[in-house]
Amino acid sequence: MFFTAALSLLIFFNASAFAATTLQADRQTATEGFIGFSWDQSASDAEHAFLELSAHVGFTPNIRRYPLTHQTKVHISGLMDGIYYARLLDQTHAPISQPLRFEVKHRTLNTALILFSGGAFLFMFLISLIIYFTVLKPPITSLSQNSE
């Protein structure tokens, strides 16, 4: 009786340690040039886990495999436009999460140039204000100094 109860507890705790891990992306469509992934603590408890990326849901061929050690979040960049899939693997390269679909869709060159021009204009405006108020504009004297 005791042996059966101990064995069932051992199986329960062992199965819960290898339960499926939930992989999440910070957005479904990456337009900024990077995408972040996070997962629950059970995958990061593994000594050697991996994040695998592929352009196919079957993960053949895989594009990249990143080693993860005691992490719960990672950011990936350098992907071309397209639809990709990600999943977590354990140290034996067996999947421990469901495939996660995400899309990389970079901004157009016109949009990037508009954003860059707006930032450059704002930067030059702020620099001109700093120069005007620190170098070119005479200091303000108070009324108490003029009355003496």
Q: Residue 1: what pLDDT?
A: 41
In this structure, are residues 53 and 85 in contact, taking their beta carbons and an 8 Å threshold? yes
Residue 4 pLDDT greater than 60, yes or no: no
> Parallel, antiparallel, or unpaired: how do β-strands 29-30 and 100-104 relate?
parallel
Strand spans (E) along the chain: 23-25, 29-30, 34-39, 49-54, 62-68, 73-77, 82-89, 100-104
Round the average pLDDT of the chain to a whole number and report it: 79
What does the block give as tokens for 40?
Answer: 């629950």
* pTM assigned to the model: 0.64
d(CA 67, CA 112): 33
Alpha carbon of residue 31 to chain centroid? 12
Q: Decide: helix, strand or coil at residue 21.
A: strand
DSSP tag of 37: E
Q: Taking 70 as the threshold, does the pLDDT of residue 45 lie above it? A: no
Residue bearing the bigger pLDDT, 104 or 42: 104
The CATH class given to the 19-104 domain equals mainly beta
Domain boundaries, the chain: 19-104, 109-136
**76 Ramachandran zone, left/alpha/beta (phi>0; psi -120 to 50):** beta
Q: Following CA atoms 44, 45, 48, 50 in sequence, which dihedral angle do they give, to the nearest 10 degrees?
A: -30
Q: Which tokens in the block code for residue 107?
A: 């901004």
Average pLDDT over residues 41-67: 81
